[in-house]
Amino acid sequence: MTLLAAQNITVTRGGRAILHDVSLQARAGEFIAVLGPNGAGKSTLLSVLAGLLKPDSGKVMLDNKPLALLSTKQLAARRAYLPQNPHLEWPISVQRLVALGLTPRLPATGGLPQSFLPLICRALEQCDLTARRDQAATTLSGGEFARAMLARAIVSQPKILIVDEPITGLDPKHAMASMQLLSDFARAGALVIASLHDLTLAARHASRVIVVVDGAVINDADSLTEETIHRAFGVRALASGAGDSRAFTLLSPSEK
């Protein structure tokens, strides 16, 4: 079973600790939502967990082996990462963009193997992009491009999926669908870690919620509470419903 563990991670930039002594364990089958205010260190934490950023101190272990000892190819074969605010400069088709998620498995020369087409078609369908497959990815709307990048991340069906704000800019329908997709990946046995700002969708879909404030984990639990929201964001919230109907109504700091 996949086990990703961060041990006493500290990252310092410009004399400020972006992350300070962060430790956590994440296992296959979990959908972990990472929440926190802007500048809390969420993206830095995801980059460290993805093996893209070396911490100043501490280490990340994957199945009891230091992540730093894995080659780029070995890591890419097990983990997919979707950064915040991805960019694309080349007018390649949406299908080709999604196919880039299979790069670790592609032959060194030649075209795209026909055997990979079912995976690409499935990812396009899962992200509601089948009708856009031949369109230049640079001509997509912001929300469509975000979904195309998510399709690129999931196309290889990775065992570890780390996504940084994957639903930012999506309309409600596609935000909900994307969250369900991530949840389904976790239920199928993958480890999913996603930084999010939508508290309601995080509460409804994530099996575990980690809250980061000022570079430190202040909460690691299987649910999100009004008290945690107030402590992390400085606003009051009213919770209603449960399970798939869980919702939070945010109030101004002065409201009771």
pLDDT in tens, 206-237: 999 999 999 999 999 999 999 999 999 999 99
Q: For 91-114, what is the mean pLDDT?
A: 82
Which pLDDT score is estimated for 110? 63
How high is the mean pLDDT of the chain?
Answer: 93
Give the C-alpha separation, 173 to 256, whole Å: 32
Confirm whether 49 is domain-assigned. Answer: yes
Confirm whether 256 is domain-assigned. Answer: no
Q: Which two tokens stand for residue 94?
A: 């949406």
User: How many Å separate Cα 111 from the centre of its chain?
Assistant: 30
Give the C-alpha separation, 59 to 7, whole Å: 5
Which pLDDT score is estimated for 31? 98
**DSSP code for 136:** B
pLDDT digits (tens, 9 = 90+) for 104-116: 776 655 667 788 8
Backbone Cα Rg of the chain? 19
Confirm whether 118 is domain-assigned. Answer: yes
Q: Measuring CA to CA, which residue among 178, 195, 191, 161 is closest to residue 34?
A: 195
pLDDT digits (tens, 9 = 90+) for 155-167: 999 999 999 999 9
Which domain range does residue 166 map to?
3-251
Which range (54-58, 103-107, 167-171, 223-227) has the least confidence? 103-107
pLDDT digits (tens, 9 = 90+) for 199-213: 999 999 999 999 999
Q: Which two tokens stand for residue 183?
A: 């949840």
Whole-Å CA distances, 119 to 75, 82, 85, 113, 178: 20, 18, 25, 11, 17
* Domain CATH code at residue 134: 3.40.50.300
Which pLDDT score is estimated for 109? 58
Number of domains in the chain: 1
Which pLDDT score is estimated for 206? 96
Sheet holding 79-82, edge to edge: 79-82, 160-164, 191-195, 31-35, 208-213, 216-221
Q: Which helix (H) or strand (E) covers residue 238, if one does?
A: strand 236-240
Which pLDDT score is estimated for 256? 46
Query: In this model, does residue 16 exceed pLDDT 80?
Result: yes
Confirm whether 145 is domain-assigned. Answer: yes
pLDDT digits (tens, 9 = 90+) for 124-151: 999 999 999 999 999 999 999 999 999 9
Q: Is the pTM of this model over 0.75?
A: yes
